Structure 1
Amino acid sequence: MRIVLKYAYIWSMKARLNLTIDDALLEHVKGYAVKQQTSISELVENYFKSVTKPVKRKNILTMVDELKKPTKVDTKADLKELYYQDKAKKYGF
């Protein structure tokens, strides 16, 4: 029995970016990076990823839950007739 292992290495190219920021802010950012055990470059990269990430589409059920709730609904009303009456008022027929 012969076992062959193949590996694929995937890496992305990185580019250098120069930023100009206030000295006092830089000191705060350095302190924050140390507390988070990360680098300033990684903080900036993660921030750019977060602001450029496409917005997730909402689930239809979530959108329905977010709709404004009616204040009072007559359970005995003919909703179809009320719909047509409303359209007749709106379009004048």
Structure 2
Amino acid sequence: MAKAIWNGVVIAESNNCEVVEGNQYFPPDSVKKEYFRNSDTHTTCGWKGVASYYTLEVGGEVNKDAAWYYPSPLPAAQKIQGYIAFWRGVKVEV
């Protein structure tokens, strides 16, 4: 089971992640939404499309834009639509 951990708390875990470019993308229902805040940040990938971000807040600590997802990916990335990946110090254990 893959787990995403930040600030000592498991913020996502699943047996049904998708791996793309070495990143574990967690299904939307596997994340603990109470730790996620919407962000206005967006980036664009040439083959996946426009990414949206979440800021994490755990135990009073904030990790800006530490999670991203593709709400409407391009056709080549449809399997990760809505799935969430992590960076910026979030530890992902597989």
Length-normalised TM-score, structure 2: 0.16
Q: Tell me which of the two structures has the higher relative contact order, counting C-alpha pairs closer than 8 angstroms and 6 or more residues apart.
A: 2
Bigger fraction of residues in helix = 1
Bigger fraction of residues in strand = 2
